[in-house]
Structure 1
């Protein structure tokens, strides 16, 4: 039986650590040919070497950089079949205490960056393919202490649903995963920003555990595969039942 991503060229944006790196490992195991993208070359190169994957550095908040790494993917493989848009940053603290500089930066990476990736990916996917954006359960509900981050993840959901409508007539599917607490370096940042907040969410999760990047990756692999050929505009929580 063929692997679910066998023969597919997937670009993984934000692939140097955390969910992006773990998802890339899942996609490689599921048969995909990968182009890995991140800002910092050293950790990115290490993941690429581990997976025998191609890589290129890039900044999702810069339009020319995004166009460059998408074009580099097509130049390397001759086409693009799917994308996993994971590049993001977090921002703790009450909304009233977030600086304008920090707010602008997280918007530039999480929202503008997702839009720029979608724009360039849709341009080259042309006659079909699949895009998976990474939102969060924080994009489906609110809570205190992470207002700027949650605003960006709500925006990612809006971009996903709109792109599903815009790109659907071209045969391009656009979906999003919405992870709950997931054991990554970013989760450690949240633990420091909101003491006890992560543990409270895990305690309120029916499965009573944080997720893993591999679990998020496996869900994204399904959405990228032909097994999900009639799914578009879906926001799929990967949260151990937290939103149930």
Structure 2
């Protein structure tokens, strides 16, 4: 479609999963794409496949976030699309939660995401689009997800305030909340066992896991001018899983 021709897009955590698929779809629609990540080899390999620019950054470190914003401003001037995707998922009961696990999840999913937006606001063009990757877990009460759920629920609150604050510059801020997707983050969370996935799928009315490209296309839509009147919204993409209360 090439409806993003001439726009510059940055995707954090763009070397795998939904971030990678989003970067691929944005590039296919004409955007100049920058991806970030913590693992040098993974980010550089992904960027080569995508025809994108690779920049190293750890979303848990303020110095990295600020250096990333400065580097992007120096190399590209302003950007038009910011996809804040980097995140982690860790499971624990509330009783057995550790401070280390709590801090790890919150530092990436909330603090890192919050300050990525904060430090990139001066780098955004007027009329830019910001898309946070939240999660259906933010509104679904599942055992052992308390920390992860809290981090994503906070993101959903953040986008509403950000949408109001940035509206005078016509900068739109929205969230996409994936349900169970076949991605690397599911493996890292210990959910890749076929029996576990079968159980998860049993709670999805559409009867399957999501495919990263499906989320990527939704994010590309929100990044485009076709969504110019949409801000402060959360888009659930979970195969109907959240309908099962």
User: What TM-score results when the alignment is normalised by the length of structure 1?
Assistant: 0.94
SS at the partner of 1:67? Answer: helix
Provide the aligned length of Structure 1 versus Structure 2.
243
In the TM superposition, 1:222-233 aligns within 5 A as 222-233=221-232
The match for 2:144 is 145
Give the conservation status (yes or no) of the 8 Å contact 2:80–2:125. no
Q: 1:158 to 1:193 in 2, by over 3 A?
A: farther
Give the conservation status (yes or no) of the 8 Å contact 2:78–2:125. no
Considering only aligned residues, what root-mean-square deviation do their CA atoms show, in Å?
1.7
Q: After alignment, is 232-241 or 184-193 more displaced?
A: 184-193
Q: After alignment, is 171-180 or 156-165 more displaced?
A: 156-165
Q: 1:194 to 1:160 in 2, by over 3 A?
A: farther
Give the conservation status (yes or no) of the 8 Å contact 2:186–2:192. no
User: What TM-score results when the alignment is normalised by the length of structure 2?
Assistant: 0.93
Give the conservation status (yes or no) of the 8 Å contact 1:190–1:198. no
SS at the partner of 1:95? Answer: coil
In the TM superposition, 1:56-75 aligns within 5 A as 56-75=55-74
Q: After alignment, is 65-74 or 203-212 more displaced?
A: 65-74
Supply the distance in 1 between the matched residues of 2:38 and 2:84 (Cα, whole angstroms).
14
1:90 lines up with 2:89 in the alignment: yes
Q: After alignment, is 115-124 or 187-196 more displaced?
A: 187-196
Supply the distance in 1 between the matched residues of 2:157 and 2:201 (Cα, whole angstroms).
26
The match for 1:38 is 37
Supply the distance in 2 between the matched residues of 1:235 and 1:198 (Cα, whole angstroms).
25
The match for 1:29 is 28
Supply the distance in 1 between the matched residues of 2:70 and 2:189 (Cα, whole angstroms).
34
Deviations 1:197-231 (A, max 9, x none): 54333222221111011111110000000000000
The CA deviation at 1:196 is 5.2
Give the conservation status (yes or no) of the 8 Å contact 1:92–1:194. no
| 4+ long deviations beyond 6 Å | none
Give the conservation status (yes or no) of the 8 Å contact 1:122–1:172. no
Deviations 1:92-149 (A, max 9, x none): 1212212111101111111001101110222221522000000000012221121111
Supply the distance in 2 between the matched residues of 1:193 and 1:200 (Cα, whole angstroms).
11
Supply the distance in 2 between the matched residues of 1:102 and 1:178 (Cα, whole angstroms).
22
The match for 1:207 is 206
Deviations 1:130-169 (A, max 9, x none): 0000000001222112111111111111111111111112
